[in-house]
Amino acid sequence: MSAVSLFARGRLRDLSPATVARLLARTPSDDARLAAAVSAILADVKARGDAALREMAASFDRVSLEAIEVPRRAWQDAAATLDPRVRSALERAATNIRRFHEAQMPTDVTLEVEPGVRITRTWTPLGRVGVYAPGGRAAYPSSVLMGVVPAKAAGVGEVLVCSPPGPGGLPPREVLAACLIGGADRLFALGGAGAVAALTFGTESVPVVDAVVGPGNRWVTEAKRQVAGEVLIDSPAGPSEVLVLADASADARLVALEIMAQAEHDPDAACVLVTTSAALAAATEAELAAQLASAPRADICRQALTASGAVLVADSLDEAVDFANRYSPEHLSVMTASAAIDALRVRTAGTTFVGPAASVAFGDYMTGANHVLPTAGRARSFSGLSTINYLRSFTIQTITPEGAAAMVADVVALAEAEGLPAHAAAARARRAS
């Protein structure tokens, strides 16, 4: 059996600085060209609207769109003809997602910071949001639910979905059905950077939204990054990632299955094992080779492992944990003898799965936690999609005459120190009122 092709293998301490940097950065070599191409797409959609979208569908998706918006009747037909097992699973997933995201709703906070000065921070849902559901290599009805259901739980007024069209000009049946089950309001057969542009700038068919959320490929992620100043985005949720943190107690077959499950998403997926056991590392490589021999999406898995896959051996658990924190994976799978304790030591993952029973696949579909998560190391700063992404907060400040009078002197002092005499005058006027 031939060895599996990996970007990196061996002891962590022996990796070159360049190899470590490439593992941590996970930035494509053509990043500058991609950014320029995405910028051109955004500008084209902004300038030409639906005409640009139709041309992009013909060029990228190889379809001629009769209509950009998918009629609700098509959703209903898709749900009615969907495999009953799949429909039941989607309904169960939607229920769990709704339960968990409703529980995240924040409460208003009111505080009298000093006598006569009362401040309230209150929350309100966004008016309209756009959810991107990936397509192309596979159908992702789960991503529809992960975007739509939390928005509805937050009370968003209108939820739009964009998903790439298939050969018949419509997104896959499963995606159509998920829009109905999740409670979406409108669906558009649009993919890639063009979809992000349409939601951000609006076209003849697509209204402008307040936020764009959802995972996608490099093009979608780059488009979201570029429009972030125009519209709210959730996080840079790009190609899938997993880092498995394991010791000698782990089962090599389960480790390899977790790696394969993320590698099959996309050739740009990043999959890493870091372990304290050289024996486990060798056994995992053997398992990967065996599983690749019969995997239906083996070509995609091989591309991902060759480009960004790694099996690494740490001299200690501390070294392994340190690398995991620096790597900041989208998904962290902890398979150690003390998994519950060790999981808490990695503070930069998008989501963490504790123990051998906790496959990432359960979180991808069914637990109710959101699978739209930051990638490419951005979990250091960004959080996964949640109810909060569909809300905005503002403050209400109530000041009594007595409270105002008590603040005048200090406000005048600060206003004059900053050279803003009108501020000082506005404060002084309250002392006399």
pLDDT (tens digit, 9 = 90+) per residue, 104-121? 999 999 999 999 999 999
402 token code pair: 């007595």
pLDDT at 30: 59
**Model confidence at 180, in pLDDT bands (50, 70, 90)?**
very high
- Check 258, 330, 371, 423 and give the catalytic one: 330
Question: How confident is the model over 173-186, as a mean pLDDT?
Answer: 97
Choice among 16-30, 159-173, 356-370 with the minimum mean pLDDT: 16-30
Question: How confident is the model over 416-431, as a mean pLDDT?
Answer: 96
pLDDT at 26: 84
Choice among 61-70, 102-111, 144-153, 207-216 with the minimum mean pLDDT: 61-70
Assess contact for 191 and 65: CB atoms under 8 A: no
- Mean per-residue pLDDT of the chain: 95
Tell me if residue 264 is catalytic: no
pLDDT at 28: 59
Assess contact for 251 and 356: CB atoms under 8 A: yes
The domains of the chain, with CATH numbers, are 8-19+239-380 (3.40.50.1980), 49-104+125-234 (3.40.50.1980), 400-432 (no CATH)
- Single-letter amino acid, residue 129: V
343 token code pair: 């999981």
Instruction: State the first-to-last Cα distance of the chain, in angstroms, to the nearest integer.
Output: 88
Percentage of the chain modeled with pLDDT above 90: 91
Choice among 15-29, 158-172, 282-296, 311-325 with the minimum mean pLDDT: 15-29
C-alpha closest to that of 214 among 194, 193, 238, 242 = 238
- Check 230, 331, 416, 418 and give the catalytic one: 331
pLDDT at 217: 86
Cβ burial, residue 370 (10 Å; 0-12/13-18/19+): buried
Question: How confident is the model over 20-46, as a mean pLDDT?
Answer: 89
pLDDT at 2: 59
Tell me if residue 371 is catalytic: no
Residue 182 has pLDDT above 80, yes or no: yes
The pLDDT tens digits of the residues spanning 268-320 come to 999 999 999 999 999 999 999 999 999 999 999 999 999 999 999 999 999 99
Question: How confident is the model over 322-340, as a mean pLDDT?
Answer: 98
Count of CB atoms situated within 10 Å of the CB of 359: 15
pTM of the full predicted structure? 0.92
Percentage of the chain modeled with pLDDT above 70: 98
pLDDT at 400: 96
Residue 411 has pLDDT above 80, yes or no: yes
Cα dist. 365→244, 264, 379 in Å?
A: 19, 16, 20
396 token code pair: 């209400």
Count of CB atoms situated within 10 Å of the CB of 332: 25
Residue 29 has pLDDT above 60, yes or no: no
